[in-house]
Amino acid sequence: MAMYNEIISKHLEIISHCAFCGNNASSKCAACTLVVYCSKEHQKAHWKQHKNECVSYELQIDSNIGRHLIAKRTINPSEIIIQEEPLVIGPKFPTSEPICIKCLQRLKRSESVVESLCEKCLWPICGAGCATSINEKIHEVECKVLVKGSEKIAKNNDYMYDALTPLKCLLLQFTDKNKWNRLMELKSHMEYRGPESEVYEEINSVYNYLRNNYLSGEEFETSSDIIHKICGILDVNALDVQVAGLELTAIYPTVSKLEHNCLPNVGISFDKCGRIYVYASRKITKGEHISTMYTNALWGTRERRAHLLSTKYFKCKCKRCSDATELGTNFSTIVCNVKGFCKGNLTPIHPLDDSSEWECDRCPNTVSSDKIDAILTELNYIVDKALQKPSINSLEDAFSKLKSRIHSNHYLFFNVKHTLIQLYGHSMGYKHSMLTDDLLKRKSELCRDMFFILNIIDPLYIRLNIYTSVILYELHLALLESAARISENKAESKGMHDEAKVLLSKALDILKNEPEGSPGFKLLQAYKPSIITLK
């Protein structure tokens, strides 16, 4: 995994000194913002050297994929490709979660019933000592609008959190015209969001809420059309952002032009102010498309493509989606049960055709797309029910129901397996020392099965690093217990112990640059004491 916090720290150190003479400087190269100069003369003098490094990508337009970025030159692993400030940052959209209007921290349900309020707009806040860092200046602007309907809204506890980020976008019209213009240039796909669409009424409720409570008499554009367009822009372009423990959404105009790929070649990180850093997770060759991922890597092809079509309005045709076996993982493969004994693998004949029949690799059997949907709906229910209150018994029961219906590597198995490996060894009555040799072996096998899959669908640990780290950590624990049980066989025991050390080291390394306060950071802190045990 690219060590992005180290990358960022090193980069920030570099850009405090003139790229030509090394003296303190603050004037950034406007094109790439990656270097600074102490004078225009030094910038000109350095151009011959810098021009080959300045902006490693270029924008291209294609009739099929639209705007996208390609590498102008070879981009090395860990190299920062893009860094930029958000045009707008705010609560997740859409959301119903109550948040502090000032600092954007999520409020507990009891807090939102209204003991602490902003003294001006009367929206809930987390308390008198609220730290307003990332949203302070933004709230000053929106507060002047929110104050209009403050008494009625507070009296009725009628806080529509869905409306806050669209309002922040709307206010750019008079707070920053340049940002407003850049926002309006982004895709909204209004052609798919008309009165006949499901999303139309949802956005209408946001518009009506803002219009009826806050926007009357405003001199800037507040029409229904503009609100619908803003919400379309948010749906299509906004990224989920985790900053200082906050779960936010933000729009980055350049980053929004990155195309999707289910095997992306860049990673993304954010600093505490919401600035985004896009870095190469591997070597990217000249002319290669620069890509990220806009869906869940742990979904099967049908689910990923359906999600992308409904939220981003395109059908993915990447290497993973185009392969019926998902790169040999069989992550979506169904078991053929013709006459109850075939047990071959059913995969789609045409993976990029949603209505394609599925064929067996052992017999002439074909299954319709509708039948596959019915099978997955049934099995999804079994998995969801087992995971509601997960226990070893409920998960093993689900496992036994799935194993004759889907391939052992199927994505529906993944969460069941991932939860099981954490229960075996940590649940009451199932501590590692209590597990039978067979159960200990089973835990190790489940870990290795999942690690095999993750090494193919996320080989660079960009999207699923937490899942991978948990698997490696749990496998290391199983190996340590196994090694202790065969201590008389010194060679085999040492081999297991040595492998456990390697796995633990990798588990920690994968997480070492997780932002402070994030789930990955907390996991890292929980795992660190294990190093002492192994030494």
What kind and span of H or E run contains 398? Answer: helix 392-402
Range of lowest pLDDT (59-73, 105-119, 340-354, 403-417)? 105-119
Instruction: Round to whole Å and give the CA distance between 291 and 287.
Output: 12
Q: Strand 80-84 and strand 66-71: pairing? A: unpaired
When pLDDT is cut at 50, 70 and 90, the band that residue 487 belongs to is confident
Does residue 117 form part of some domain?
Answer: yes
Average pLDDT on 173-193 reads 93
When pLDDT is cut at 50, 70 and 90, the band that residue 468 belongs to is very high
Residue 444: Cβ within 10 Å count: 20
Average pLDDT on 383-392 reads 96
94 and 219 in a single domain? The answer is yes
Q: State what percent of residues in the chain have pLDDT above 90.
A: 64
pLDDT of residue 5: 54
65 and 111 in a single domain? The answer is no
Instruction: Round to whole Å and give the CA distance between 346 and 365.
Output: 9
Instruction: Round to whole Å and give the CA distance between 119 and 125.
Output: 10
- What is the DSSP-derived secondary structure letter of residue 290? P
pLDDT of residue 2: 39
Structure tokens at 255: 């980053």
Q: What is the tens place of the pLDDT at every residue in 332-371? A: 999 998 877 799 999 999 999 999 999 999 999 999 999 9
Long-range contact pairs involving 117-124 (C-beta distance under 8 Å, separation at least 24): 117/154, 118/143, 118/146, 120/146, 120/147, 120/150, 121/146, 121/147, 121/150, 122/147, 122/150, 122/151, 122/153, 122/154, 123/150, 123/153, 123/154, 123/159, 124/98, 124/100, 124/159
Question: Residue 135: pLDDT above 80?
Answer: no
Question: Residue 437: pLDDT above 90?
Answer: yes
pLDDT of residue 65: 84
169 and 199 in a single domain? The answer is yes
Does residue 301 form part of some domain?
Answer: no
CA-based nearest residue to 252, from 188, 179, 325: 179
Instruction: Round to whole Å and give the CA distance between 25 and 13.
Output: 11
Does residue 269 form part of some domain?
Answer: no
Question: Residue 501: pLDDT above 90?
Answer: yes
pLDDT of residue 52: 65
Instruction: Round to whole Å and give the CA distance between 270 and 288.
Output: 24
Please, is 61 exposed, middle or buried when counting C-beta atoms within 10 Å of its C-beta (0-12, 13-18, 19+)? Answer: exposed
109 and 230 in a single domain? The answer is yes
CA-based nearest residue to 270, from 237, 295, 239: 239
Three-class SS string for 170-207? HHHHHHCHHHHHHHHCCCCCHHHCCCCCHHHHHHHHHH
131 and 243 in a single domain? The answer is yes
Does residue 229 form part of some domain?
Answer: yes
136 and 187 in a single domain? The answer is yes
Tokens 């060759």, residue?
A: 285
DSSP result, 423-484: HTBTSTT-BGGGS-HHHHHHHHHHHHHHHHHHHHHSTTSSS-HHHHHHHHHHHHHHHHHHHH
When pLDDT is cut at 50, 70 and 90, the band that residue 112 belongs to is very low
Q: Is the CA virtual torsion 463, 469, 471, 472 positive or negative?
A: positive
pLDDT of residue 227: 94
Where is pLDDT greater, at 274 or 295? 295
Range of lowest pLDDT (82-96, 118-132, 224-238)? 118-132
Taking CA atoms, 191 is separated from 94, 194, 224, 354, in Å, by: 20, 6, 15, 22
The residues, any chain, with a CB within 8 Å of residue 383's CB and separated by 6 or more, are 398, 402, 412, 415, 416
440 and 512 in a single domain? The answer is yes
Scanning 81-223, the segments in alpha helix (DSSP H) are: 136-146, 150-156, 164-175, 177-184, 198-210
Does residue 462 form part of some domain?
Answer: yes
Kindly provide the residue ranges of all beta strands, DSSP E only, lying in 273-383, ordered along the sequence. Answer: 276-280, 291-292, 334-335, 345-348, 358-360, 366-367
CA-based nearest residue to 472, from 423, 507, 496, 512: 507
Domain limits at 489?
424-535
pLDDT of residue 48: 80
> Where does a domain end: 226, 250, 274?
250
Where is pLDDT greater, at 118 or 534? 118
When pLDDT is cut at 50, 70 and 90, the band that residue 222 belongs to is confident
Does residue 404 form part of some domain?
Answer: no
Question: Residue 93: pLDDT above 60?
Answer: yes
SS3 category, 142: helix
Q: State what percent of residues in the chain have pLDDT above 70.
A: 93
The mean pLDDT of the chain is 89
What kind and span of H or E run contains 377? Answer: helix 369-388
Does residue 367 form part of some domain?
Answer: no
45 and 124 in a single domain? The answer is no
Tell me whether the omega of the peptide bond preceding residue 98 falls within 30 degrees of 0, making it cis: no
Where is pLDDT greater, at 374 or 28? 374
77 and 92 in a single domain? The answer is no
- Quote the number of domains for the chain: 3
Average pLDDT on 391-398 reads 97
> Where does a domain end: 239, 263, 292?
292
Question: Residue 4: pLDDT above 50?
Answer: no
Structure tokens at 220: 């800037």
Please, is 347 exposed, middle or buried when counting C-beta atoms within 10 Å of its C-beta (0-12, 13-18, 19+)? Answer: buried
Residue 254: Cβ within 10 Å count: 17
444 and 532 in a single domain? The answer is yes
17 and 106 in a single domain? The answer is no
CA-based nearest residue to 302, from 338, 331, 270, 281: 331
Average pLDDT on 188-203 reads 92
Question: Residue 1: pLDDT above 50?
Answer: no
234 and 128 in a single domain? The answer is yes
Average pLDDT on 78-91 reads 91
- pTM for this structure? 0.85
> Where does a domain end: 292, 325, 357?
292
CA-based nearest residue to 471, from 455, 493, 495: 455
Question: Residue 244: pLDDT above 50?
Answer: yes
Average pLDDT on 491-499 reads 93
pLDDT of residue 279: 92
Where is pLDDT greater, at 274 or 327? 327
pLDDT of residue 432: 96
Range of lowest pLDDT (4-18, 171-185, 236-250)? 4-18
Average pLDDT on 139-153 reads 87
